[in-house]
Copies of this chain bind each other. A is one copy, B any other.
Amino acid sequence: MIKHNFSAGPSVLPKSVMKQASEAVLNFDDGLSILEISHRSKSFVEVMDKARSLALELLGLEGKGYKALFLQGGASTQFLMVALNLLEKRAGYLNSGTWADKAIKEARIYDDIYEVASSKSANYNYIPKGYEIPEDYDYFHCTSNNTIFGTQMKNFPKSPVPMVCDMSSDIFTRQIDYSQFDLIYAGAQKNMGPAGTTLVVVKEDILGKVSRKIPSMMDYKLHISKGSMFNTPPVFAVYVSMLTMQWLKDLGGIKAIEKENEKKSSLIYSEIDLNPLFKGFAAKEDRSNVNATFTLENENLKETFETMLVEAGISNVNGHRSVGGYRASMYNALTLDSVKALVEVMSELESKA
């Protein structure tokens, strides 16, 4: 049976990538496994260099003063590194979801953090708009997509200070002007690869301006100077991320995948809006193209619906506990056919009800 994995992350990767990764575990270079080669070997240095250049190329940031790094520790470690590297006096954060809230909490250890706007009191079902970013802030931080709530920033403010964006759930999924950001970070495990590495893309000229002594592993400048190999990198996770970015490039890049992603999200949101059994959670204008959140209006149908999902090979559509209901995560590697399978079950439930 074909499996339709709607997991919010770690999540589905392209079949061809999984196949190549599986083979590399047995034989990557001259009979040696990708798991046993030195990270200083010529073959792995090539992988790291290619991963770094593919990231910039896909985002349209080549030759614009940016560097790409593949670090460890997830977005949660970036909450800390952003503050350590950029926060001198005060910064502004957009509180649009659980992860934004966590980023604020971490940065507050180091200095004054202001929320420029928040949708927390509405359980984050919309993206705050119409706020000001003061010119004396060290930086402004936002979250492009809120995985848990299914909201996504469709526009970004014109910031008078460096703009930092957590793109963990929607990097590489849509065409935007990535050069409006000064620092972008994203855990790999949604659109880029397996869990275990985090992409950081940073404009070099915003670094080196804080007075604190930054610990080595937290220092972007040091990681840049060492070509993202200050210490042993997560070799396998970087390799699979490189394969996934190469897959995306071969498909036609972000432009091509965006079209697919729009088909997928249009299909599911049409069903949510037209099928009286379901109701969307997020404000319509802020609906995420990668995480669709919705509830089943009639609780009596829950068991039937969930049995039908299992029978159709659909997994991981349960909503996050802070929202409830269902969530369909439709990252780059999830196929349109998987969304069709889900929509069919939703539609079939209506005809049964």
* Docked CA distance A79–B21 (Å): 32
CB < 8 Å neighbour of A33 from B18, B32, B36, B316: B18
* Docked CA distance A194–B30 (Å): 18
* Docked CA distance A21–B93 (Å): 41
Q: Please state if B22 and A36 are interface contacts (CB–CB under 8 Å).
A: no
* Docked CA distance A218–B110 (Å): 14
Say if the beta carbon of A64 comes within 8 Å of chain B.
no
Say if the beta carbon of A228 comes within 8 Å of chain B.
no
Q: Please state if A38 and B215 are interface contacts (CB–CB under 8 Å).
A: no
* Docked CA distance A306–B26 (Å): 26
Say if the beta carbon of A134 comes within 8 Å of chain B.
no
Most chain B CB neighbours (cut-off 10 Å) among A13, A216, A240: A216
Q: Please state if A10 and B39 are interface contacts (CB–CB under 8 Å).
A: yes
Q: Please state if A73 and B76 are interface contacts (CB–CB under 8 Å).
A: no
Most chain B CB neighbours (cut-off 10 Å) among A189, A232, A235: A232
Within 8 A of B (CB), among A8-46: 8-13, 18-19, 21-23, 25-26, 30-33, 35-39
* Docked CA distance A217–B5 (Å): 29
Q: Please state if A196 and B18 are interface contacts (CB–CB under 8 Å).
A: no
A77 to chain B, nearest CB (A): 5
Say if the beta carbon of A324 comes within 8 Å of chain B.
no
Most chain B CB neighbours (cut-off 10 Å) among A21, A195, A315, A316: A195
Q: Please state if B80 and A215 are interface contacts (CB–CB under 8 Å).
A: yes
Q: Please state if B32 and A5 are interface contacts (CB–CB under 8 Å).
A: yes
Q: Please state if A76 and B35 are interface contacts (CB–CB under 8 Å).
A: no
Q: Which residues of B contact A233 (CB under 8 A)?
A: 195
A138 to chain B, nearest CB (A): 18
A235 to chain B, nearest CB (A): 5
Residues of A in contact with B, size category? 35 or more
Per DSSP, chain A at the interface is loop
Most chain B CB neighbours (cut-off 10 Å) among A10, A79, A106: A10
* Docked CA distance A37–B5 (Å): 8
* Docked CA distance A7–B44 (Å): 14
* Docked CA distance A237–B25 (Å): 12
* Docked CA distance A235–B74 (Å): 12
Within 8 A of B (CB), among A203-217: 213, 215-217
Residues of A within 8 A of B (CB): 1, 3, 5, 7-13, 18-19, 21-23, 25-26, 30-33, 35-39, 72-77, 79-80, 102, 105-106, 109, 187, 189, 193-197, 213, 215-218, 230-237, 240, 315-316
Q: List 26 interface pairs A-B (beta carbons < 8 Å), by A numbering.
A: A3-B32, A5-B36, A8-B38, A9-B38, A10-B36, A10-B38, A13-B33, A13-B36, A18-B35, A21-B25, A22-B23, A35-B194, A39-B195, A72-B73, A72-B196, A72-B234, A76-B230, A80-B218, A102-B216, A106-B215, A106-B216, A194-B236, A195-B234, A196-B196, A196-B235, A234-B237
